Chains A and B, each alone.
Chain A
Amino acid sequence: MSLFVKFWGTRGSIPTPGSTTQRYGGNTACVEVRTDQALFILDGGTGLRELGIDLIRRYRGKPIVGHMLFSHPHWDHIQGFPFFTPAYQAENTFHIYGTPEGDRRLFGLVSGQMRSDYFPVDFSELSAQILAKDLDSGRIDDVVVKALPQCHPGGSFAFSLESQGRKVVYATDNELDELLPDLDASLRDPDAPRPLPAELIDFVRGADLLIADGQYGEEEYASKLGWGHPRATTTVDLAAAAGVKQLAITHHDPMQSDVDVDAKIAVCVARASRLAPKLIVFGAREGVELKLA
């Protein structure tokens, strides 16, 4: 009985191929979560393309049933979908979840990017069954799924997945710093505590793994207020306050090289050692798979 988490895309905003981003990867947001019974795909950035290739290899012609949870429909979270090969195979089924009940906007935006203005293959030509579903907190196979609205231009959702006594929270594109009661004071004194809303902390509480937006370093954030992403260090405060075991910082800024991400993560590790010494912090990296046993 295990829960597997694999990072297929950890870059924010736009793909960044190249020699300086090889370690953390250049594909945009996509995470696979797998239990004994269910396959979840969290966001469909360009990492989704390679996940699709791998699913076909693994399933060897057997039907693939996947649950696709999109945090929001910004490009870097949906642009891999037209290149998701399993969607072109009739034996497969994918459930696309929007929130809350009755909201088909997300499904419309994911499918709309395949209109002929944008892409040569129309959504209606996909052979797989692709179904719009509501996601108000509930159970999907052996997983309890919850959603929480976040602070991001246009809105976004965090997802909590609990199964077999393990909890994973995926919380990207969330400008945590906007939620601080005194952001100016926090910018003046980065070492000061950063109290975050109780509802958010409760949502994340006790997670074995928190995969969270940490796009910016301290200096970068100063010129990016309101862009929808936090300082990576504020994400550490969230993880520490919520008693998280492991924090994977993701949605790396496209301007950050591997060396830059290493430096950003080093600052986060130092902050975590002060706030929650048992908290494990690392940079989410394409191609890395964790097993939460």
Chain B
Amino acid sequence: MPDAPHSRELTLTGTPLVVEGSRPPRPHVIEQIRGPGAPRRIELNGVQIVVGREGDISIPSAQISRTHLRLSRQGADYRCVDLESRNGVYLNGIRVHSAVLREGDRLQLGDVVFLYFTGSAP
């Protein structure tokens, strides 16, 4: 796993996605625009990615739980799930337990803000 705080561009491998007879899935991206480590752009290539102080995407913030949020690939989409975090997950300002992410979504975890973009974004 690359050292996130020093990376401007980060590729997470996780469990590789292999679907026979299909093209590789589109790369989805989250951009961290606020909080420790920002700004940075993270390409999502794993099936499951944990964001937290001790996550695959590591964020050294007291407002972030050790394992705060999981991003899971579901077909062509990514779904986010709050991992019982202390400060919760806010999707476009609304506290959610989970959600299928859509183009331009804003995810806030404590003092950290991500924007989510699908591979189809111009």
Contacts and interface: CB of A to CB of B under 8 A. Distances in A.
23 contacts: A4-B97, A6-B98, A22-B102, A22-B103, A23-B102, A246-B94, A280-B94, A282-B94, A286-B100, A287-B77, A287-B99, A287-B100, A288-B91, A288-B94, A288-B96, A288-B99, A289-B96, A289-B97, A289-B98, A290-B94, A290-B97, A291-B96, A291-B97
Secondary structure of the A side of the interface? strand
B8 interface: no
B25 to A, nearest CB: 17
B79 interface: yes
Given A280-B94, A289-B97, 18 more contacts: A6-B98, A246-B94, A282-B92, A282-B94, A285-B99, A286-B100, A287-B99, A288-B94, A288-B96, A288-B99, A289-B96, A289-B99, A290-B94, A290-B96, A290-B97, A291-B82, A291-B96, A291-B97
B106 to A, nearest CB: 12
A286 B91 CA distance: 13
Contacts of A6: 98
Interface residues of A, number: 14
B95 interface: yes
A287 B103 contact: no
Interface in B67-100: 77, 79, 82, 91-100
6 closest A-B pairs by beta carbon, nearest first, are: A287-B100, A291-B97, A289-B98, A288-B99, A23-B102, A289-B97
B96 A23 contact: no
A287 B97 CA distance: 11
Contacts of B82: 291
Contacts of B91: 288
Interface of B: 77, 79, 82, 91-100, 102-103
A94 B100 CA distance: 27
A290 B100 contact: no
A22 B97 CA distance: 20
Contacts of B99: 285, 287-289
A277 B97 CA distance: 24
Contacts of A289: 96-99
A269 to B, nearest CB: 10
A291 B88 CA distance: 10
A246 B95 CA distance: 10
Contacts of A282: 92-94
Contacts of A288: 91, 94, 96, 98-100
Interface in A67-85: none
A23 B79 CA distance: 13
A278 to B, nearest CB: 14
Contacts of B102: 22-23
Contacts of B93: 282
Nearest to A286: B100
A201 B97 CA distance: 28
A288 B93 CA distance: 13
B68 to A, nearest CB: 15
B94 A287 contact: no
